[in-house]
Amino acid sequence: MKTVYDFTVKDRQGNDFSLSSLQGKVLLIVNTATGCGFTPHYEPLEAMYKELKDQGFEILDFPCNQFANQAPGNDDEIHEFCTLKFGTEFPQFRKIDVNGENAEPLFAFLATEKPFAGFGKGLKNAALNKFADMNNKQYGEKAYIKWNFTKFLIDREGKVIARFEPTVDMSEVRAAVAAALQA
């Protein structure tokens, strides 16, 4: 059975990084953007990272510019923004595509393991769904991720155990991470 440990990605400097080096840790893998309405998620993500990293928790940040061009900077500019504005210390990887022909294989795998199940109820969520559908129709069947700050929770064995759309309250994400760390 395939797990996230079977994937190698590029770190921010462009070097290969094997996710197998994170075996035994609980992971939260996130596609991010610096100019999105959800960019403030960096703050609770960093707080969670600082609080839980010593318990075997890692956040893997993958910037992506495929959603309304909300991450236009290069890898260094994005990293500088995140560290200066939000004090992020968790690992940030090379900017990637999460949808389409050039989608990072890791994200295609994650989305196949935990497909999109909706943004939730309410007018704001319905509006985001309509906007995301318009943005993602260019990717057809390879529109794996609907929007920035989609989060995937990975257990200590490398299995995808949850998907959180950006509309999910960060306290719910934190509770799921804490539960995975205790499992």
Give one DSSP letter per residue of 88-143, joined into a string. Answer: --S-BB--BB-SSTTB-HHHHHHHHHS------SSHHHHHHHHHHHHHHGGGGGG-
33, 36, 48, 103: the catalytic one is 36
pLDDT given at position 167: 95
Which of helix, strand or coil describes residue 42?
helix
As a whole number of angstroms, the distance between CA 30 and CA 4 comes to 13
Q: What is the pLDDT of residue 127?
A: 86
Q: Parse the chain into domains and list their residue ranges.
A: 4-182
Residue-level pLDDT at 126: 87
- What's residue 3's pLDDT? 97
Q: Which residues of the chain have pLDDT under 50?
A: none
- The per-residue pLDDT for 141 is 85
pLDDT of residue 5: 97
Residue 109 C-alpha from the chain's centroid: 13
Q: What is the pLDDT of residue 145?
A: 95
82 is annotated as an active-site residue: no
Q: What pLDDT, on a 0 to 100 scale, did the predictor assign at position 56?
A: 97
Domain spanning 4-182: CATH 3.40.30.10: yes
Instruction: Report the pLDDT value the prediction gives residue 20, as an integer from 0 to 100.
Output: 98
